[in-house]
Structure 1
Amino acid sequence: MKLFLLVLFFYSCFASDLLSVGSPGTYGSITIADFNTVSEDEDADAVVLFDIGKSIFVQTSTGFEVEFERVTRIQILSEAGVKWANVQIPYYQGGSANERVSEISGNTYNLTNNLINRSSIDDSNIFDEEINEYWGQRKFALQDVRVGSIIEYKYIVRTPNVFRLKDWEFQWRIPVRYSEYELRAVPFYEYQYILQGARSFHSSRSRVDRRFKRKLSGIEYNDMVHNFVMKDLPPFNDEEFISSINDYIIKINFQLSKIIYPTGRIEQIVTTWPDMISDLSKHPDFGRYVNRSRRDASRILDVKSVSEKPEKDRFEYVMNQVKQHFRWNNFHGKFATKTPRNLIRDGHGSCADINLFAVGALRAVGIEADPVIISTRDHGLVYYDYPFSHFFNYVIISANVDGETILSDATSRMVPNNRIPLKCINFKGLKINTDKEEWVDLIFEKPSEKALVFNMSLSESGLSVDASKTATEFDAVYYRVNYGDDKNNLLSQLKNSQFEIDESSIEVENQWAIDQPWKLRFSFLAVTDDLQDRVMISPFVGYVMNDNPLKQDQRTYPIDMVYTAKRTFKSTLKIPEGYEIEVLPDNLNFSNDLFEISYNINKNGDDLVVSFSYWFKHAIYSARDYGRLKAYYSEIVKKGNENIVLKRI
């Protein structure tokens, strides 16, 4: 991971590499030569010809707002690339901090018989969609887009939030010819920025715009212009086992570090982790919210009677009560959005509302508990050298129960009380306790196990199979959430063109006993491959992966499997009368510090027992292990799909 932090010191100093900056095109102006795009990536579905962003501070009656303008041009190179003509613009809609999207326009250019035809965006193709109560997105689709088309669009987003400027992603999932970001800053805000994924820009420069002056509270000032350019960027080709594209894509992000008021007073925004912990502990929607929750916990808990019970019983009681009383509204955030009493009244709230309340409730029954702020996997990594508050978007619970530290999340009813959801397993979180700075390890090394057992018998109609599946830990959570115990849903999940499922055989155990393994039983009739007097049988009937998920020749970022996974398969095949074994796969047993695989066949009378298992021993592997992991997956695919051949006697 390449990270470089720089501080934009407005007026005090600035640096420039004196390289010229020039856009390769102008919005609304196009020539025939622009259609002669050749991508160095032969598999590219489209290529970004230019992507230009600009942030400007606009003075208002109450201070400043930030106006962000974007202009983008893309050429479509394949049918699959047409999707890039569908654009989404997220915006915040939280009370007085509402963001506003405006001035959307777009064009599609097609070259026909050496003539350029232009189709402009229709306003009827622009609409808003609500993501949740705090976020929406404006969506639009460009028209008449086909292979060879050049599309372009532009829009403006205006926000009162000066604390964090929008990230600028230079890299896309398709090649980028030219990407430029310009920040026109004012001397009242000082920012730090982090460049991720690259050592330097193609060009960058900073200058004072002396063409005109502005005035605030009687102080005249000029804008400080910072410009960053990158060219000829390859596509970001992610694959399986990556935490978030946000962690590795080439981008620049900003954090407000200091406010310089017209009076001369200076307010430090970014200081140190201990200062951040102290500020959160005193914040009315964080630390003080926990204190109020402790006082209000008796409104949903029998605090007096439960306080006499053992710690583990108290912990389970509080977590179960909080989960029963409150429903998560799918909103992430580290600050509470309502008072504890309003949370109790409404019965629903954000992760911060619910988990901060749970911390207070645990304290009310005598359990040592603290909030832990984290970044969810889709939000990206936290860089521990930079105390930026925007790294965090979620709150979980840390509780000391009988001398053991337990991490928990009261928003997830299907997750045991002593576990956090998969989305929260993202390296480390920061415990908010005024006594000290403490980082909490979120990595979970205990294996999640999935075992499939097949009992098979061959007949004239096919291969009759009685199957059972058992899952523990996060695998069990996955099945409880995605399969459940509804037979219609299970049937749709189990359907396979090679199987005929017996619907009456489907049976689920422990759907709601979340501290127990999840179990499924079902029966089906599978198709066999017959050739003259021989029958080929796949002992695991397609339930072992048949494609290697690691496709690249090499990889520069970690292989993040989230949790350690152990998979076990066992098939017992009754050899029918009149058949004999002609071909059996070879046994295999291999183990090292990274991985373990075992494949063994035993014959017991008329029964042929095939056992296969593999175990990835770590949740996260370094990039240098990629080649070996890719080879291990190839071996899984090979061994797990080998056939047994029976010959008619």
Structure 2
Amino acid sequence: MEVRMTPHRALYLLFAALAVALLTLPARAQWTPPTPEELSMTSQPEVPGAPAVYLYREEVTDDDNHNYSIYARIKVLTERGKEYGTIELPYEAGGHAHIEVTEIVGRTIHPDGSIVPFTGKAFDKLIEKTKDNRFMAKVFSLPDIEVGSILEYRYRVRFEDNYFISPEWLIQSKLFTRKAHYQWRPTVHSLYTREKGQINSVQWFPLLPPGDAVKLQTYPPIGQQGPRSVITLDIASVPPIPDEEYLPPITFASYRVLFYYSEYNNNTEFWAKEGKNWSKEKDRFIGPGPAVKAAAQELAPASDPPIDRLRKLYASVMKLENTDFTREHTSSEEKADGNKEIRNTDDILTRKRGSGAQLTELFVALARAAGFKAYLSTVTSRDHRLFLQGFLSLSQLDSDLAIVQVDGKDLFFDPGERYMPFQHLAWTHTLVRGLRQTDKGADFVDSPGETFKFSHIQRLADVQLDAHGEASGSIRFIYSGDTALNWRQRALRGDQTSLNRQLSESCERLLGKGTEVKVVSVDKLTDYEEPLTVVFSVKGPIGSTAGHRLLISSDLFEGMQDPTFTAKDRKYGVYFHYPYFAQDVVRVHYPPSMTVESMPKPLNTQFQKMASYGMKVEQAPSYYTIRRDLAVGEVLFPKEQYGDLRTFYTGFEAQDREPVVLKAAPVSASNGGN
């Protein structure tokens, strides 16, 4: 089981006073005695078949002691629930906070009430390593777990004395929670940031079920100290995180409370001032400086049409190394190359490399140097979250875009996304909200979407059947837009061998087991303005036999896939990553010993004006051809549309599985043998 431990928002804060009186929380009993009902329970009515449930969860953050503690009690209900006895506690090693996971204790309680204490030691596991930090996890396993056991553990997380971490209460988890208690005691001392001075208040952004609310209690000051506040939440019967296919980013839908220290009094004040500060800071880095100005004049002469000039500037940035997909160079490597600290876009241009954010800033600088009105935008990538305007933190804005005015119109660009075509955005950056620079500071912005024609995949099969139903031939996949971007960026993270393996496996999953697939060629892998073409050779069975008949799914690529939507109802709407257009052409040549007995009927169907499907069949003396088109034009389908959407998908997926029936010619008596 994963236990979230390190909040991603932290402020480096210093005490205003020289001396600090540390106050401790009242001690509570280390363990909770199990009740007879807890020992004997075998299920939870709200979640039938659940592998386990939280009987109780507790998180207490104590600012003045610079730590927080976690306490959990889990009831194992099935064999699969025993997996929750292995606990991983993630934390970040390095950085200013010097986070330490300590005081790990645990025990297993059997259904008969006998107790087996945890006497082992947690080991450190490396999850990810970056230039500055290591992301680790403390891992331990509770002993002697069986179905019906209660798993109980607690631990404490400590950090530097001059460091404060505002908590993030993640109320929902994979398991149903019977009861939970959360508490935060903010420090009583005046706090300052190095950048903005004194912090005025503690604020929070809640996403909770109706009827549940965060409570704030204020106690009188003690001595020289100011009033003490205690923030709590007690909640019961918390459902697990939704587990449906095609969900929006789960952090958008799950219950949680996000806290932060703030020097602002309200939402409007925060975004106005922080947006303006962000814009000024970015302008200082973007410039442009003399090196960028000289490069812009050389790359994009004023005699060229505006869009062509931008295209040349964009291409020049795309040629540079994007360290998001390679690696950041260490300070010693930079020093050996004669490079100093990066201070502006001139330094990025000189190094010929930078992060995705830095390359986006460089493109804005080049556009400005070429005479365009160009602005930076920072948005929230929707692969894992959505922008929350009520959450007063810039930390949720994690991706940069460029906005350039041409003929009075704002055009959006994504140069920090390696291999992104000109004047297009990666799907994670479409239809999202964030901040953008303006002539007067900053304002909110909504990024545009892409049409279904941008992400286009064509799958073309041309195979020859032998008399035994074995097929051999070639398959060509042609990817455009986000479908191409996916494979191009995968190639950056491995070598040609690993790319070919992944491509072959993706084709094998479509064709089914027993089919031998080999990559013959990969064209236009780095030419991001052109479609990516992959050619496979294939060999193996493509149908099933029934007597003297061979049954082949109409669409070789979709006929063996599981249905997209099986549940009759949904709690949430359907969320696709991006609109797309898929076209399949399947041509099967059959031997003279076979004839076509039946073919699927053509079908054209549509779901409102949001999606359409069409299949048609062509037959010739020695082969047949299936042509299939599927266009999905929307990203989000509301819950109320699910029934009709499911009917649409069920209908065309049944058509994909409709068989072409080939019949073997009977063996004549003269050829029957002796």
- Shared fold, TM over 0.5: yes
Matching of residue 77 in structure 1 with residue 84 in structure 2:
no
**Quick one: distance in 2 between partners of 1:579 and 1:234?**
57
Change (3 A) 1:277 1:322: same
In 1: Cα distance, 2:428 partner to 2:162 partner: 27
Deviation sequence 1:278-302 (CA, Å, 0-9, x none): 222223xx232122x5445258x35
* Match of residue 549, structure 1, among 564, 567, 570: 564
Decide whether aligned partners of structure 1 residues 434 and 298 sit closer, same or farther in structure 2, where only a CA change above 3 A counts.
closer
* Aligned equivalents of 1:443, 1:214: Cα separation in 2: 58
Q: Answer yes or no: is the 8 Å Cα contact 1:322–1:354 preserved in 2.
A: yes
Counterpart CA distance in 1 for 2:161 and 2:308 is: 47
What secondary structure is seen at the aligned counterpart in 2 of 1:120?
coil
Alpha-carbon contact 1:540-1:569 (below 8 Å) kept: yes
In 2: Cα distance, 1:602 partner to 1:160 partner:
75
Q: State the alpha-carbon separation in 1 of the partners of residues 290 and 69 from structure 2.
A: 47
Give secondary structure in 2 for the equivalent of 1:629: helix
Residues 593-604 of structure 1: pairs in structure 2 closer than 5 A: 593-604=609-620
Match of 2:89 in 1: 88
- Cα distance in 2 between the residues matched to 1:274 and 1:607: 66
- Give how far 1:619 is off: 2.0
Taking only aligned residues, the RMSD between alpha carbons, in angstroms, comes to: 3.3
Higher mean Cα deviation, 240-249 or 309-318?
309-318
Which residue of 641, 659, 666 maps to 1:625? 641
Counterpart amino acid of residue 180 in structure 1: H
- Pick closer, same or farther for the CA change 1:413–1:89 going to 2, 3 Å: same
Deviation at 1:47, TM superposition (A): 1.3
Identity %: 15
TM-score (norm: length of structure 2): 0.79
Identify the residue that residue 175 of structure 1 maps to in structure 2.
Answer: 176
Alignment partner of 1:610 out of 626, 629, 645: 626
For 1:298 and 1:442, the matched residues in 2 are separated by 29
Contact 1:597 1:614 in 2 (8 A): yes
Q: Does 1:480 align with 2:488?
A: yes
Q: What does 1:273-288 correspond to in 2, within 5 Å?
A: 273-283=271-281, 286-288=282-284
User: How far 1:274 moved relative to its partner?
Assistant: 3.2
Deviation (angstroms), 1:80 = 3.3
| Pairing 1:519–2:514 present | no
- CA shift, 1:483, in A, is 6.3
Match of residue 407 from structure 1: 412
Task: Tell me which moved more, 582-591 or 539-548.
Answer: 539-548
Which amino acid in 2 is paired with 1:518?
L
Aligned match of 2:203: 192
**What is residue 454 of structure 1 aligned with on the other side?**
461
Q: Which amino acid aligns with 1:481?
A: Q
1:172, distance to aligned residue in structure 2 (A)? 0.7
Structure 1 partner of 2:60: 54
Task: Please say if residues 64 and 186 of structure 2, whose CA atoms lie closer than 8 Å, have aligned partners that are also in contact.
Answer: no
Aligned to 1:39: 44
Q: Is the 8 A contact 1:290 1:357 kept in 2?
A: yes
Secondary structure in structure 2 of the residue aligned to 1:445: coil
Q: Given the alignment, which residue of 521, 542, 563 partners 2:578?
A: 563
- Unaligned stretches of 5+ residues in structure 2: 1-25, 191-199, 329-340, 666-674
Deviations 1:519-575 (A, max 9, x none): 122221231322321111224334456223335443343422121122222222234
The TM-score, its normalising length taken from structure 1, stands at 0.82
Per the TM alignment, residue 371 of structure 1 is displaced from its structure 2 partner at its CA by: 0.8
Structure 1 distance, partners of 2:625, 2:280, is 63
- Return the match for 1:28 from 25, 28, 31: 31
2:385 is the alignment partner of 1:380: yes
Measured in 1, the distance between the counterparts of 2:657 and 2:460 equals 15
State whether residues 55 and 184 of structure 1, in contact with CA within 8 Å, keep that contact through their aligned partners in structure 2: yes
Matches within 5 A, 1:42-441: 42-58=48-64, 67-84=67-84, 85-91=86-92, 93-94=94-95, 97-111=96-110, 114-123=113-122, 125-133=123-131, 135=133, 136-144=135-143, 146-148=145-147, 149=149, 150-158=151-159, 165-186=166-187, 188=190, 189-201=200-212, 204-210=214-220, 213=222, 215=224, 220-258=225-263, 271-283=269-281, 286-291=282-287, 293-298=288-293, 301=295, 303-304=297-298, 306-308=300-302, 309-329=304-324, 338-340=342-344, 343=348, 348-384=353-389, 388-401=393-406, 404-435=409-440, 437-441=443-447
Mapped partners of 2:413, 2:183: distance in 1: 42
Partner SS, residue 618 of structure 1: coil
Change (3 A) 1:231 1:88: same
- Please list the CA deviations of residues 433-453 of structure 1 after superposition, one character each: whole Å capped at 9, or x if unmatched: 243635132432343121212
Give distance in 2, aligned partners of 1:354 and 1:67. Answer: 38
2-structure distance, mates of 1:491, 1:350: 28
- Does the 8 Å CA contact 1:294/1:357 hold for their aligned counterparts? no
Work out whether residues 372 and 398 of structure 1, in 8 Å CA contact, stay in contact via their aligned partners in 2: yes
- Please say if residues 355 and 397 of structure 1, whose CA atoms lie closer than 8 Å, have aligned partners that are also in contact: yes
Partner Cα separation in structure 1 for residue 391 and residue 117 of structure 2? 47
Name whichever of 399-408 and 343-352 sits farther off.
343-352
SS in 1 for 2:308: helix
Return the alpha-carbon distance in structure 2 between the equivalents of residues 407 and 184 of structure 1: 44
In 2, Cα distance between the equivalents of 1:605 and 1:258?
A: 79
| Rounded Cα–Cα distance in structure 1 between residues aligned with 2:313 and 2:164 | 36
Match 1:647 to one of 655, 659, 663:
663
- The residue type equivalent to 1:126 in the other structure is D
| Amino acid paired to 2:184 | L
Helix, strand or coil at the partner of 2:655: helix
Pairwise CA distance, 1:464: 2.4
- Assess, with a 3 A threshold, how the Cα gap between structure 1 residues 81 and 214 changes in structure 2: closer, same or farther: farther
Amino acid in structure 2 at the alignment position of 1:89: P
Instruction: Judging by fraction of residues, say which structure has more strand.
Output: 1
Answer whether contact 1:164 1:256 (CA < 8 A) is retained. Answer: no
2:424 is paired with a residue whose SS is coil
**CA distance, structure 2, for counterparts of residue 469 and residue 547 of structure 1:** 21
Tell me how far apart the structure 1 counterparts of residues 414 and 359 of structure 2 sit (CA, whole Å): 9
Is residue 581 from structure 1 mapped to residue 582 from structure 2 by the alignment?
no
Q: Deviations over 1:465-518 (max 9, x none)?
A: 322111211111123234689366324532436344364x61222212211111
Task: Give 1:641 shift.
Answer: 2.1
Q: Secondary structure at the match of 2:55?
A: strand
CA distance in 2, matches of 1:522, 1:163: 56
List alignment gaps of at least 5 residues for structure 1. 1-22, 60-65, 260-266
> How far is 1:459 from its partner?
0.7
Give the counterpart of 1:463 among 466, 471, 479.
Answer: 471
Q: Distance in 1 between matches of 2:384 and 2:517?
A: 42
2: CA distance, partners of 1:483 / 1:585: 39
Q: Is the 8 A contact 2:401 2:416 kept in 1?
A: no
Cα distance change, pair 196–502 in 1 and its aligned pair in 2 (3 A) = closer
Q: Secondary structure at the match of 2:118?
A: strand
How far is the alpha carbon of 1:180 from its aligned partner? 1.8
Q: Measure, in 1, the Cα distance between the counterparts of 2:321 and 2:223.
A: 51
Q: Go from structure 1 to structure 2 and tell me whether the alpha carbon gap of 1:205 and 1:476 turns closer, same or farther (over 3 Å shift).
A: closer
SS at match of 1:58: helix
The count of residues paired between Structure 1 and Structure 2 equals: 595
Q: How far off its partner does 1:345 sit?
A: 6.4
Distance 1:552 1:172 in 2: 22
Contact 2:182 2:233 in 1 (8 A): yes
Look up the match of 2:11.
Answer: none
Q: Give 3-state SS (helix, strand or coil) of 1:278's partner.
A: helix
